[in-house]
């Protein structure tokens, strides 16, 4: 059975939280409705996620995660591209992210490292920027 991508629903929260915790990503700031999240399923099993939060005129890419058994299959790229499609459909022209472990992955996809002091105010007040992610997390931006 092929992997299917679908928009997250509130009922997916327990599985999404379990996936994110398994890859050491935060869960405390997930929105109640999980809006902006694309999830990947192998049958009924959640095996990947990518979220895009709209913050004013910007998008914040977050919670890009792939179950260890599905890494190297292109699933992460599929989820990332789905998030970019969501951003484009919403008219967003800049996508931002914070990462402690995937700077190289996102640099290969066109993201550039930006000094945290240069982040727009909408990004600086996001929970991820303001404290959920450690201050050592790298800030990156993609112009779409």
Residue 54 backbone dihedrals phi, psi, to 5 degrees? -90, 125
Tokens for 103? 């700077």
Sequence-distant (≥ 6) Cβ neighbours of residue 144 within 8 angstroms: 84, 87, 88, 92, 93, 94, 95
pLDDT of residue 133: 79
* Count of the separate structural domains present in the chain: 1
pLDDT of residue 129: 86
Model confidence, pTM = 0.92
CATH code of the domain in which 28 resides:
3.40.630.30
Range of the domain at 103: 4-143
Instruction: Classify strands 37-42 and 4-7 as parallel, antiparallel or unpaired.
Output: antiparallel
**H or E element in which residue 118 lies:** none
- The one-digit pLDDT tens for each residue of the chain (144 residues) are 689 999 999 999 999 999 999 999 999 989 989 999 999 999 999 999 999 999 999 999 999 999 999 999 999 999 999 999 999 999 999 999 999 889 999 999 999 999 999 999 999 999 888 877 778 889 999 998
């Amino acid at each position: 059975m092929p992997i299917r991508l679908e928009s997250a629903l509130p009922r997916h929260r327990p599985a999404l939280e379990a996936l994110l915790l398994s890859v050491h990503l935060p869960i405390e700031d997930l929105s109640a409705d999980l809006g902006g999240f694309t999830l990947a399923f192998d049958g009924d099993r959640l095996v990947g996620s990518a979220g895009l939060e709209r913050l004013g005129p910007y998008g914040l890419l977050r919670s890009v995660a792939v179950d260890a058994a599905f890494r190297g299959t292109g699933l992460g790229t599929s989820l990332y591209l789905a998030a970019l499609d969501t951003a484009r459909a919403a008219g967003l022209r800049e996508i931002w992210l914070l990462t402690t472990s995937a700077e190289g992955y996102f640099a290969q996809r066109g993201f550039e490292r930006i000094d945290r002091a240069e982040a727009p105010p909408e990004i600086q007040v996001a929970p991820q920027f303001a404290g959920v992610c450690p201050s050592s997390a790298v800030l990156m931006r993609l112009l779409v």
